[in-house]
Structure 1
């Protein structure tokens, strides 16, 4: 369990400190990672905002994509989860600068080629749902 968590933190640090798009996730904290679930948290900051001063939908979608992928990684091999096949996001409530958003992702099921995940972003200690996501991932074959 501890080894899986170390792997995730190493992987996450490499991604968010790289030169690619995932740098936008650098202020997310992974709180837990085990048994097909991943919990993360971030405080809405200026770099997360749309031009209207609210949590940006594209950022929200990226968070759902990445944190659900980590949930899937914890479900099976602990290795990178593969490619997105489908990502559906429902935006329910705005989040504003300074608010803490908690991300709860869980693996619904995973077979030989596909994994199905559900994600919920909440604020106000879980009282308000900001967004819900459903994510389907293609599972890369594991080389033996």
Structure 2
């Protein structure tokens, strides 16, 4: 006789007795006038499932509002930070302040921050006639 064949069709009913006991206790409490206790337990059970689900969506919304992805104004390295905080660039170490979705350098009061541009050098060849 093949013993493995009977294991395939066996039904695991270990949780049915516990569930039946809970249902019977709930019906008994409702019958004797303690339905408020059963209702309170069901509300608590529902809150245990609903609150984490709502908290997950609120957390995702908060992160989308606070998370900023931008480039460092000094070295153009792109990284992530939280809005309205101060941090350092992980690439060049420059202290930065994150405001309104962008990274700004932190400078001392009275410091003028400028952007330098490169000016191409043109070599003018002088003719021999002009030199003589």
TM range (shorter): under 0.3
TM (norm. structure 1) is: 0.21
From the CA coordinates, give the structure whose radius of gyration is larger: 2
Structure with greater helix share of residues: 2
Structure with greater strand share of residues: 1
TM (norm. structure 2) is: 0.22
Larger relative CO (CA 8 A, sep 6+): 1 or 2? 1
